[in-house]
């Protein structure tokens, strides 16, 4: 399929009109060799992949965006649809192909492709099918972009981030899963909604598995710099533990609710992943709860396991994991979440 269409060669015999349309300035110096060309590749042109691509484009994060999918007609249609919006977007080269060579020299490879669960299929069987799919995706991406950062979005994200790490041979700081970054955003929204404040003023994390065994870090939540639970205790304001648990359950079930209503989730994960891309490529060194190699943190001792921890991200990937406060119960729940993931990883054949 065509990678992209160029309108610069419209003249007779394919004359490149870009060379004659503008009159060059006399004695002009060539473009700076230090100018950095930033490129992101998105693997999977489904609802999630295209929401991520669209959000990245509107936020002016890259010079070039490459799309890869197994369905050539849909892929070309998505590429053209985005290209036709060029007059309304920051200038970005948009290319697409079923061949992974289109991703060459990517700074960031975002993987959203994944097998869908068949009715009645076990989670383990679905996982094996996704591992087989990743065996066709990760090696060519690593081949064409050996210095890239992998950002895995496909579910189950923690296990597939581990799979990507193993298949790529990359150092662990350059393999990241989107993890609970979106879960934490939902958590902050719900707390903000309860307190009638802006969600940006709420500091709160969901850690562990992106799934049922995730852990809400209530002990470290703050609003406007004020630790919430400590403040309630200090003011002798009673609260019910059940209320806290219900908020966490609402976070876990919110994705299922969106899927029930519209059939899939897309926009929130699009904004979540674009936020991660911005932090990584622009070296913003912000802290995000993302899936990282957790061995050695918070006394997690069940082997090589990826799960979400509040991590500082920058141009080189994961810079470090923050030493966020957890009480004993939260630490035990995190370790239990790690064991849940480790038990599934142990059943993989890589």
SS3 121: coil
Q: How many helices (H) and strands (E) does the chain have?
A: 10, 14
Hunting for tokens 């990826």 — which residue is that? 306
Residue 155 marked as a ligand binder: yes
CB atoms within 10 A of CB 151: 28
Residue 62 marked as a ligand binder: no
SS3 297: coil
DSSP secondary structure string for all residues of 140-186: HHHHH-TT-EEEE-SSSHHHHHHHHHHHH---GGGEEE-TTHHHHHH
Nearby residues of 346 by Cβ (< 8 Å), 6 or more positions away: 303
Residue 208 marked as a ligand binder: no
Let me know: does 210 contact 177? Beta carbons within 8 Å.
yes
CA 17 to chain centre: 39
14-50: b (≥16 Cβ within 10 Å) or e: eeeeeeeeeeeeeeeeeeeeeeeebbbbbbbbbbbbb
Catalytic residue among 210, 248, 288, 325: 210
Let me know: does 179 contact 308? Beta carbons within 8 Å.
yes
Asked if 210 is an active-site residue, the reply is yes
Residue 153 marked as a ligand binder: yes
Residue 16 marked as a ligand binder: no
Residue 99 marked as a ligand binder: no
Residue 5 marked as a ligand binder: no
DSSP secondary structure string for all residues of 46-83: SHHHHHHHHHHHHTT--SEEEEE-S-HHHHHHHHHHHH
Let me know: does 274 contact 60? Beta carbons within 8 Å.
no
User: How many Cα atoms are found within 13 Å in the side-chain-facing hemisphere of 257?
Assistant: 7
Query: What does the alpha-carbon distance between residue 76 and residue 99 come to, in Å, rounded to a whole number?
Result: 13
Residue 86 marked as a ligand binder: no
Residue 321 marked as a ligand binder: no
- Termini Cα distance of the chain: 32
Residue 154 marked as a ligand binder: yes
Closest alpha carbon to 152 in 349, 308, 296, 327: 308
Residue 73 marked as a ligand binder: no
Binding site for NAD(+): what residues are annotated? 44-49, 69, 130, 153-155
- Looking at the annotation, which residues are catalytic? 210
Binding site: what residues are annotated? 44-49, 69, 130, 153-155
């Amino acid at each position: 399929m065509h990678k992209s269409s160029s309108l610069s060669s419209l003249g007779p015999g394919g004359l490149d009109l870009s060379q004659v349309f503008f009159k060059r300035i006399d004695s002009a110096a060539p473009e700076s060799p230090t100018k950095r060309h930033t490129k992101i590749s998105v693997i999977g042109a489904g609802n999630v992949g295209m929401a991520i691509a669209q959000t990245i484009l509107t936020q002016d994060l890259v010079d070039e965006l490459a799309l890869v999918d197994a369905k050539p007609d849909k892929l070309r249609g998505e590429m053209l649809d985005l290209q036709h919006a060029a007059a309304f977007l920051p200038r970005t080269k948009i290319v697409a192909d079923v061949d992974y060579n289109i991703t060459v020299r990517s700074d960031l490879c975002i993987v959203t492709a994944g097998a869908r669960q068949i009715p009645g299929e076990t989670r383990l069987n679905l996982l094996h099918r996704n591992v087989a799919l990743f065996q066709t995706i990760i090696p060519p991406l690593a081949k064409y972009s050996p210095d890239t950062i992998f950002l895995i979005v496909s579910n189950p994200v923690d296990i597939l981030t581990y799979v990507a790490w193993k298949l790529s041979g990359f150092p662990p700081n350059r393999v990241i899963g989107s993890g609970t970054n979106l879960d934490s955003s939902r958590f902050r929204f719900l707390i903000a909604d309860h307190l009638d404040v802006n969600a940006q003023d709420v500091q709160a994390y969901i850690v562990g598995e992106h799934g049922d065994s995730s852990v809400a870090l209530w002990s470290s939540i703050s609003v406007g710099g004020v630790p919430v639970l400590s403040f309630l205790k200090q003011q002798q304001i009673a609260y019910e533990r059940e209320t806290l648990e219900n908020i966490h359950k609402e976070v876990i079930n919110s994705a299922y609710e969106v899927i029930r209503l519209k059939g899939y989730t897309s926009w929130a994960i699009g904004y979540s992943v674009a936020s991660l891309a911005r932090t990584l490529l622009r070296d913003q060194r912000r802290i995000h709860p993302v899936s990282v190699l957790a061995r050695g943190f918070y006394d997690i001792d069940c082997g090589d396991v990826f799960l979400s921890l509040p991590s500082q991200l920058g141009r080189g990937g994961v810079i470090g994991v923050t030493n966020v406060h957890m009480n004993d119960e939260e630490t035990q729940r995190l370790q239990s979440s790690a064991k849940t993931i480790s038990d599934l990883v142990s059943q993989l054949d890589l």
